[in-house]
Each structure stands twice: as C-alpha cells, then as structure tokens.
Amino acid sequence: MSNNMQQPYTQFTQWFEEAKNHPHIDEPTAMALATCFDNMPSCRIVLLKAHDDRGFVFYTNFESRKGCELAANPHAALTFYWMPMKRQIRIEGGVEKVSDTEADAYFLSRPRESRIGAWASAQSRPLAHREEFTDAIAEYTARFEGKDVPRPPHWSGFRVIPHRIEFWQEVEFRLHDREVYTIISKEWVKTLIYP
C-alpha cells in the first residue's frame, strides 16, 4: 500500500493510541455507529474490535436491529469522541462482513459467559420478562457444559471500509482544526475544511 493510502490510518492509530493511554478516557474503543434503513437513521454505541488499512471492525448479532439495517443498506458512519483530548474522528463508508476465520478468532477470545450470551440473546427483539433471558442463558450453559462454545451462525463482525475520514481537534473560541481525507481515484486526498 502506498504511503498516501496509509495517511489517515496512520493518523487514526496515533490518536487512538493516545486515547488508550489517556488517564481520563475509560473506553477509547467506544464509537457511535449510525445506520440508515428506509430513510430512517439509527445510532448506538458499539466497541471497535479491530482496525487496519482495510477498515474498522465491530461485532454483533446479524439478526439485531443494526445487523438487519446493515444487511438492507450496507453503509455506515462511525464517530469517536474523546472529550478529555478534545478530539473527534468521523468515518463514513461501505460495510462488509468479516471472514469466518476473523469472526471465530475474536469470538473465542471473549469470556465464556459472553459467548453463552450470544446464543441466548435474541438481540433487539421483544423480551416478555427478564426471566425469559435468564432461562435461555441457563439452557445454553447446560447445553455447552464441558465443551467449547462455538460461534453462533447469526453472530459475526462487520468492517466499515471508509471513503471519508475526518479528524477534528478542538481549538479555543470554536476555531477548530478539521482535516478530511476522501478517496478520489483510489487515493486519499486531504482537505482542510472550515470549523
């Protein structure tokens, strides 16, 4: 990959590492994920689980609201906001599923209880009462007792493949610095924009 193509990823990694090492940022991987289905936007916080020059990865139940919305409209936006650093990163792009190998490796790194939860939760669908969920947890705990908990077929990851990345740095009196990288002819082009 050319140096030009790595520019925004290099800057993201630098800011992300600084956020991870900041004493007042509890969850640097937290990012707002926006999807859109039938002209109705939807936003929630998810956690970044991997990033490289291919994009930004999070995991979910494909049958959840976000999973269904991304299946219908495979485009998304992400926003990181690290208030103590006075920095924001906005990412927009297409979405693809990660490989089974990637998904399996990440799933096996999760605590056993979280893996059981992925089987027990009908994510985003109505729940009559909490006991219904705890009963499902008990059922899957018994089913996998003494065994590895495999990844459910409806649970995997999405990779947001950016075509636009904006780096925002707060400056006093709202005179912020904003740098935007946009893909043009398969190359990243950097532009400064007004605050």
Can you name the residues that pair with 82 across neighbouring β-strands?
Answer: 87
Residues with Cβ within 8 Å of 181's Cβ and at least 6 positions away in sequence, in order, are 7, 8, 164, 165, 166, 188, 189, 190, 191
CA angle 41, 43, 48 (to 5 degrees): 135
Rounded Cα distance between 17 and 13, Å, is 6
The active-site residue out of 125, 159, 174, 178 is 174
Residues with Cβ within 8 Å of 118's Cβ and at least 6 positions away in sequence, in order, are 61, 107, 110, 151, 152, 155
Nearest to 96 by CA among 55, 155, 133: 55
Nearest to 91 by CA among 186, 168, 163: 163
Side chain identity, residue 74: P
The answer to whether residues 171 and 195 touch, using CB atoms and an 8 Å cutoff, is yes
SS3 of residue 25 by DSSP: coil
174 is catalytic: yes
Residues with catalytic function: 174
